[in-house]
Amino acid sequence: MTPSPPSHGTLRLPAPWGWLQIDWQQHTIIASELHPGPPLALPEAEPSTPFAAQIWQQWQGYLSDPHHPITLPLHHHGTPYQQRVWQLLRTIPPGQTRSYGDLAAHLASSPRAIGNACRANPLPWLIPCHRITARHHLGGYHGASSGPQLAIKRWLLEHEGALPTSD
């Protein structure tokens, strides 16, 4: 009897800023984390399951073309308000940004509440909270207003064409 493929797993994918970790269960993404630092040295190996291969292909597609559609199924827990914010974030196309105030006005909320929902986002990159900026600057990213997390946000926005590239 052939063993069935695992129903859950973790992928660590090399990224220009370090690595992206994706956790999945039952063919659904349940968490992602953007890790700053030197890129991982990963062995040249095929992903272990068809779903892991699909994640890998979509990540490589995004790195080649930020407009590459991401069609991975997502599952995330959050309050009803957070779910509304995250759904709205998914409507912002690559290469565009919105301000915390823009989203707050759309949801009859406050910019601070939008920022808190972005900070609680369990699926960064997939739910693109990096596309939310302050009116006149980048704003924060996952609770950081400087440092490696903000550098990741800048890289994602530059990659998508929403910011001029830094020299």
| Structural contact between residues 21 and 126, judged by C-beta atoms closer than 8 angstroms | no
> Can 118 be counted among the known catalytic residues?
no
**DSSP string computed for the chain:** -PPPPPSEEEEEEEETTEEEEEEEETTEEEEEEEEESSPP---S---SSHHHHHHHHHHHHHHH-TTS-----B-----HHHHHHHHHHTTSPTT--EEHHHHHHHTTS-HHHHHHHHHT-SSTTTS-GGGEE-SSS---BTTBSSSHHHHHHHHHHHHTTSSPPP-
Q: 103, 118, 129, 132: which one is catalytic?
A: 129
Q: Which residues are catalytic?
A: 129
